[in-house]
Amino acid sequence: MKKEYNLKKMKVLKRGPVIDAKQSKVMISLRLDGDILNWLVNASDEKRVPYQTLINSYLKEAMDRHGKDGKGELRKLIQEEVHKISKTG
């Protein structure tokens, strides 16, 4: 290995645009109530999938049911799930 490298000739490569948004994952921070998270973790353990994958599948299911531009539909879905949890838990 050389002691010094000449970096003047090095080219900077930039990341190109994401071609297929369906196949890319985006890291976000999400705040959930503790009881919802516990329910998701328990459900994910039963289904033997990571809880983040389960959340993604539920959101994708809601998107397919209500269309990609369904305003307020996600909020309605979440409220329905919370209501179901409060009845059973």
Count CB atoms within 10 A of the CB of residue 39. Answer: 19
Residue 40, in any domain of the structure? yes
Q: What is the DSSP string of 15-54?
A: ----S-GGG----------HHHHHHHHHHHHHHTS-HHHH
Using alpha carbons, select from 87, 2, 5 the residue that is nearest to residue 39.
87
Query: How many domains, the chain?
Result: 1
Segment 12-69, tens digit of pLDDT: 878 777 666 666 777 888 899 999 999 999 999 999 999 999 999 998 888 877 766 6
Q: Does the residue 57 lie in any domain?
A: yes
Longest dimension (CA), the chain: 68
Is residue 23 in some structural domain?
no
> Does 14 fall in a domain?
no
**Which residues contact residue 66 at a Cβ distance below 8 angstroms, ignoring those fewer than 6 apart?**
73, 74, 77
Range of the domain at 57: 33-88
Threshold 0.75, pTM exceeds: no
